[in-house]
Chains A and B, each alone.
Chain A
Amino acid sequence: MAKKVALLQGNQACAAGAIYAGAKFFGGYPITPSTEVAEELSNELPKVGGKFIQMEDEIGAMAAVIGASLTGAKSITATSGPGVSLKQELIGYACIAEVPCVIINVMRGGPSTGMPTGPGQSDVMQAMWGTHGDHAAIALVPNSCQEIFSETVRAFNLAEKYRMPVQVLFDEIVGHMRERIVFPEPGELEVIDRQAPGDPPETYKPYDATKGQVPPLASFGSGYKFHVTGLNKAADGFPTTKAEYVDAEERRQIAKVMDNIADIEKNEEYLTEDAEVVIWAYGSTSRSARYAVNELRKEGVKAGLFRPLTLWPFPEKRTAELAKQCKGIVVAEMNLGQMVYEVERVAKGNCTVVHEGRVDGEPINPGQIIAKVKEVL
């Protein structure tokens, strides 16, 4: 049987991916350019018995998402830069309390209100460091409508598997672009559901590290009575200021991500085997970069593309290897320099690292990438 296909906007593809992943709760607040995610889910969630709520503000939306997730519902919110700024308080809460949830950030220009209808990639450091305190982060950066669908599914999987908030960042260009989507059949993409605790309610501890780096999370209303707090806590979930508990818990929560980079990392490479210059780009910019690689190859320039789909944790290993192999890396991103600093950090001077940025609301075009590559050579 032929697969179902449709012409969908990136934001609609995101909503479809959420439904495929088994989302049962959306809490949000209207903001351009992400609103279609909410509109679509307000229509689709009740059809599958899920719940949609438009909250009074961005913080309330994040709060409702965490509350719903604690009852066992796969939960999602969608917003843009200003909304993510407001949500940071509770993104930190979801980190420390280890509550799975998915946060969609359809990126526009900034800071502040910036350019609501223009694209941007200037929230990528915010995705890692926006909330206060030490924590790990997972952020995914799809570059097409099909990929927004599949990466939204993967975001739910990672959120449930690692018991934490996962952000999906795509710029306004991909969010509002319409492309042909081929809907995967049920079972075609992996869907990970939350692991129920093996312990009976009497002995269950929500942060028991002896159960592994990611202790299972019980659901409220399933016979397990436990305590959840944003304070530093011991294995039983109750607040503590004892140095050894605080230290061990913070380190575990970071290690659960950093020890599993191989599972979380996802990159795509194009003609990097013999590349003398590597263009390091993500999201819509990576599509211009791929075009630039093809043009440069026609001229005999050995150019290649490295495209992370997982931006955080940062793809250190592969970026470092490429830095040793090539003469230069051109980091192209719609900001005035963010991921380029991470690339420089891991390149350790083994190659030239330059930045090609843009913040005027226009996409980065292949021509400007080609010009920058020629500067490096």
Chain B
Amino acid sequence: MAYDYEKSIRPGKLPHIWCPGCGHGIVMKGLIRAMDTCGLDRNNTAIVSGIGCASRLPGYLDACTLHTAHGRAAAFATGVKMAKPEMTVICCGGDGDGTAIGGNHFIHACRRNIDMTYVLMNNFIYGMTGGQFSPCTPTGAKASTTPYGNPDPIFDISKLAIGAGATFVARTTAAHPREIDKLIVQGIQHKGMAIIEVLDDCPTTYGRRNKFRSVVDMMKHLKTNAVPAKAAAKMSAEQLEGKFLTGVLYHDTEKPEYCSQYAEVIKKAQGA
């Protein structure tokens, strides 16, 4: 029997705004399956986003949804979680939103290790504004604002998250749909900041400028260049050239979670 996504989607909100071939829909379905697997009570689940194509995701889902300003998802979500720690908080958004304009909020949410799951859809481009380069656009790639090829080096989002102090960091791609929900489930169940980076495709503004002749080409690129972290351990640097590691990249269960730490502050203040 086909999976029942309908019960998680707000009536009348589809069709979504995403272009044909965009991977965001695959990620949304993965998120729905993950939320079901975790048995989340949607009345007590806040889904928070910033601005951009990926940030439109919360509006489709039946939950407490907060579509904020560009880059600010993690900061709004921090307020929600601090004020009501019993809520499950999920952030979602794109690479430009999360790591350029929202980079400061992103790294500090990681540093605090506040209990939330951030599903970051990295499609290597600013899609909604028409394909300008983001901090994740590969060096040399074409974007609407890099007509001569991108001179900028890139952010490795997962490494950034690990360096900033997130305690669960995982990466997969839109070409690995089953791994998406598996990793989001682990992220939700992890008590602390979980970053799930999903490498995603934007055929409309990235693919067509960068010699991907079809969506299938883009998906094949994601699929063939993904190397599970365990397998990568046995590979040489030469073999790993141009590849990206997938699966759970970092998991720390020791670092205290932020709201639990603040609960201790309250105890001290109240003389307990």
Contact = CB atoms under 8 A, between A and B. Distances in A.
Given A67-B80, A68-B79, A221 B44 contact: yes
A51 interface: yes
Interface residues of B, number: 39
B269 A67 contact: no
B64 A220 contact: yes
Interface string B39-60: 0001110101000000000110
Interface majority SS on A: helix, strand, loop or mixed? Answer: mixed
Contacts of A57: 104-105
A18 interface: no
Interface in A231-268: 231, 238-239
Q: Contact residue range for chain A? A: 35 or more
B62 A225 contact: yes
Interface string B79-91: 1101110110000
A52 to B, nearest CB: 8
Contacts of A220: 46, 64, 66, 80, 84, 87
Contact of A221 (B48, B64, B68): B64
A71 B270 contact: no
A191 interface: no
B250 to A, nearest CB: 21
Contact of B83 (A24, A46, A56, A224): A24
Interface majority SS on B: helix, strand, loop or mixed? Answer: helix
B78 A71 contact: no
B80 A71 contact: yes
B63 interface: yes
B175 interface: no
A49 to B, nearest CB: 6
Given A56-B104, A89-B69, A223-B43, A238 B59 contact: yes
A47 B62 CA distance: 36
A51 B82 contact: yes
A7 B86 CA distance: 39
Highest count of chain A CB atoms <10 Å: which of B64, B75, B79: B79
Contacts of B80: 67-68, 70-71, 220
B124 to A, nearest CB: 25
B84 A46 contact: no
Interface string A33-61: 00000000001001101010101110111
17 contacts: A27-B79, A46-B262, A60-B75, A63-B72, A65-B79, A67-B48, A67-B76, A68-B79, A68-B80, A90-B69, A90-B72, A220-B87, A222-B43, A224-B43, A228-B66, A229-B59, A238-B13
